[in-house]
Amino acid sequence: MTHRPGRIAGAGLAALCAGALLLPLPHVTPHASAAASGAGTITYIKDHNVWIARGDGTGARPLTTDGSAGLPYRAPSQSDGGVVAAVRYQNIVTLDQQGRVLAEIDPPRLPSSLGGTMDGSPVNAAISPDGALIAYTFSEHSCTNGCGWRTATGYVSTTGAGTPASYGTSFYGDPSWVTNRRTLQSGGYGHQVMVHDVGSATQQHWFDDGEIWYPSEDYGNTEVSPDGTMLAGVRGYGDGRDIMTYRINGNIRSGGVPGLPDDACNLDGEAADKITDPTWSPDSTTLAFGAADGIWTFADNKNPACTGALSLLLPGGSEPDWSAAPLSPPAGGGPNGGPSGGANGGQPGDVAPLTAVAPPKARGAAKVGKVLRATTGSWSAGVTSVRYQWLRNGRPIKKATKARYQVTRADRGRRLSVRVTVQNGTASGVAVSKAKRVR
């Protein structure tokens, strides 16, 4: 017989939040103290761009400025070393905390459960804690053998080495990292929560929503706390979604899967729009999640009474990912994590980066023997110097640093793009062209 876990919208929080998650989430003043752990940093999306802030919400600043409604950034995540990965169109872009582009990766095709392969724009991506691998998911609607959505997840190295076959693939989605070599995934008939070890050809089934609840619903978007003791995930559909947390019985970090988890807290979203993306603080005490009006935190998750503090931390933000990486100074050296002269503590004299008004392009036919020519693109101010770097599947091609690049046999079946770095005095900017697949 199943039982209902404690709700944070119960008596313990009624006076504090006025039923905040039973009604549309109110716009309240954030309380830094509500984030029991201010450690690490949260990467998130705001105004179609990637942002970063400390775990207590201070020092918030954008890492990108070229996102738009037509070409947004999505699904940001960050390694413990401060490398940020985010999806943009068909590519996964990696950045440092100063917003400099490290690589633009076109993730390889993945096998489909119906045979053949899947490609396109990743719907999810997550970088491993050590920054070595990125787990990504493709999803497509197909009417072969019955209409429905098909999903596949694989891995790509941040250095471009290896193939999906060498790392293993699955037909599940919403990947999140448990360790540097293990992910959680979810989906499929029965609403499974699955465990996959990198390099393994098979997944381990942990539990179905129906093993804990009746009737069963979707349970996914899961993440294990860094200490391996707690699980959070999204249950339900549409505006009726809840974030369910569980206490893990056993070791989820290695070996076989543990038994069924125990109920912890239910962040009830019966009328809360877009409640999603739970992510744990580095000390495993605080949960951040997205909702209609921004990113919220729920502190003291391990309290059996579920009476921890609930607070709006980052208004207007979405898709949070909490990392142990500390916040480094912005480009230009401001020590407190903010732009020049801004409210977040930047120092006078910080130089605003040049931004691409129109991105560079790789003109020409992507065929072996043909020549591609790079355009500089348009920038927010005049530029005095331009550098080029041609990329193969997001990885720099040795000695390919001119405006012209002749396509070689090694490029067959791969995607070519060009990274343009511009400078004007002490200001600089970086942009990458849309990739072209070589036929």
Query: What is the per-residue pLDDT for 426?
Result: 62
Classify burial at 398, counting beta carbons within 10 Å of its beta carbon; exposed 0-12, middle 13-18, buried 19 or more. exposed
Where residue 438 falls among pLDDT bands split at 50, 70, 90? very high
Domain 6-323 fold: Neuraminidase (2.120.10)
More confidently predicted of 149 and 75: 75
Q: Give me the residue spans of the domains in the chain.
A: 6-323, 356-437
Cα gap 26→10, rounded to integer Å: 16
Cα gap 431→242, rounded to integer Å: 39
Cα torsion 425, 430, 434, 439: sign: positive
The amino acid at residue 200 is: S
Domains 6-323 and 356-437 equal at CATH topology level: no
Give the model confidence (pLDDT) of 234-258 as tens digits. Answer: 988 777 788 889 999 999 999 999 9
Cα gap 340→343, rounded to integer Å: 9
Cα gap 187→193, rounded to integer Å: 7
- Within 13 A of 357's CA, how many CA atoms are on the CB side? 6
Cα gap 143→190, rounded to integer Å: 21
Give the model confidence (pLDDT) of 5-43 as tens digits. Answer: 444 433 222 222 333 333 233 333 333 333 445 689 999
How would you classify the pairing of strands 371-374 and 404-406? antiparallel
How would you classify the pairing of strands 427-432 and 385-392? unpaired
Give the model confidence (pLDDT) of 146-199 as tens digits. Answer: 556 788 899 998 876 667 778 988 889 999 999 999 999 998 666 689 999 999
Is the pLDDT assigned to residue 142 strictly greater than 70? no
Give the model confidence (pLDDT) of 323-355 as tens digits. Answer: 999 999 887 654 334 333 333 333 333 456 777
**Averaged over 103-125, what is the pLDDT?**
86
Order of strands across the sheet that contains 133-142: 124-127, 133-142, 148-157
Class of domain 356-437: mainly beta
Q: Is the pTM of this model over 0.75?
A: no
Where residue 394 falls among pLDDT bands split at 50, 70, 90? confident
3-state per-residue secondary structure call for the chain: CCCCCEECCCHHHHHHHCCCCCCCCCCCCCCHHHCCCCCCEEEEEECCEEEEEECCCCCCEECCCCCCCCCCEEEEEECCCCCEEEEECCEEEEECCCCCEEEEECCCCEECCCCCEECCCCCEEEECCCCCEEEEEEEEEECCCCCEEEEEEEEEECCCCCCHHHHCCECCEEEEEEECCEEEEEECCCCEEEEEECCCCCCEEEEEHHHCCCCCCCEEEEEECCCCCEEEEEECCHHHCEEEEEECCCCCCCCCCCCCCEEEEEECCCCCCCCEEEEECCCCCEEEEEECCEEEEEECCCCCCCCCCEEEEEECCEEEEEECCCCCCCCCCCCCCCCCCCCCCCCCCCCCCCCEEECCCEECCCCCCCEEEECCCEECCCCCEEEEEEEECCEECCCCCCCEEECCHHHCCCEEEEEEEEEECCEEEEEECCCEECC
**Averaged over 286-292, what is the pLDDT?**
90
Query: What is the per-residue pLDDT for 29?
Result: 31
